[in-house]
A and B are shown apart, each in its own frame.
Chain A
Amino acid sequence: GQNIDQPTEMTATEGAIVQINCTYQTSGFNGLFWYQQHAGEAPTFLSYNVLDGLEEKGRFSSFLSRSKGYSYLLLKELQMKDSASYLCAAMDSNYQLIWGAGTKLIIKP
């Protein structure tokens, strides 16, 4: 079956760095998405990886290893506004998105 795993909750300190991991199993693969979702709001797109390696976008970076079925989202210089849920989603061979349950990130001062 198709599956996405990511930690339920993580806590980090303002100004620090945090890495949110995601492992996936899909029938075929057409890329890995990360979305940010603040409580009660809609998810917003953060990154997309389809090739192995690291994609950097400001304070946020995303990494993909297709051979390991693994991705991570790296957040640097954490700010209080980064407190949110982070959703990992893998696209299968039929272009269907398989979603993880999300990782709730709590930032402490």
Chain B
Amino acid sequence: SQTIHQWPATLVQPVGSPLSLECTVEGTSNPNLYWYRQAAGRGLQLLFYSVGIGQISSEVPQNLSASRPQDRQFILSSKKLLLSDSGFYLCAWSPTENEKLFFGSGTQLSVL
């Protein structure tokens, strides 16, 4: 069966520090991969999605970036965190673009 792993679960980082969140999927090949951010009281905001290795689409211009170095690995990064980067980050995958999403357990990021 397919599983998705996302870590860490919580992270507290100072403003200006770098960020690296990792997500891996097991039990499937060539998944569509997504990074979302969820702010309190707001809908899920799509940050990046990828349909294959090295293929990244950015939905929102910001100081975050994403990479897909391997088929089932998706990484969210930042060189310098801002206070506004605080939030709940979710990685997700789907078999194809028009199917349901399966979410990782999420990372609660607090930038202080």
Q: How many residues of chain B get a CB closer than 8 Å to chain A's CBs?
A: 17
- A44 touching B108, Cβ below 8 Å: no
By beta carbon, the residue of chain B nearest A48 is B100
- A101 touching B43, Cβ below 8 Å: yes
Q: What is the size category of the interface that chain A forms with chain B?
A: 20 to 34
Choose from A30, A40, A97, A99 the contact partner of B108 (Cβ within 8 Å): A40
By beta carbon, the residue of chain B nearest A47 is B100
Contacts of A48 in B (CB 8 A): 100
Cα–Cα, bound, A31→B41 (Å): 24
By beta carbon, the residue of chain B nearest A95 is B97
**A95 touching B43 in the complex, CB below 8 Å, given contacts A41-B106, A43-B103, A44-B103:** no
- A101 touching B108, Cβ below 8 Å: no
Choose from A31, A45, A99, A102 the contact partner of B98 (Cβ within 8 Å): A31
With an 8 A cutoff between CB atoms, is B105 at the interface?
yes
In the complex, 18 of the A-B residue pairs with CB atoms within 8 angstroms, ordered by the A residue number, are A4-B43, A31-B98, A33-B100, A41-B105, A42-B103, A42-B105, A43-B90, A43-B103, A44-B103, A45-B100, A87-B43, A91-B98, A96-B46, A97-B46, A99-B43, A99-B44, A101-B42, A101-B43
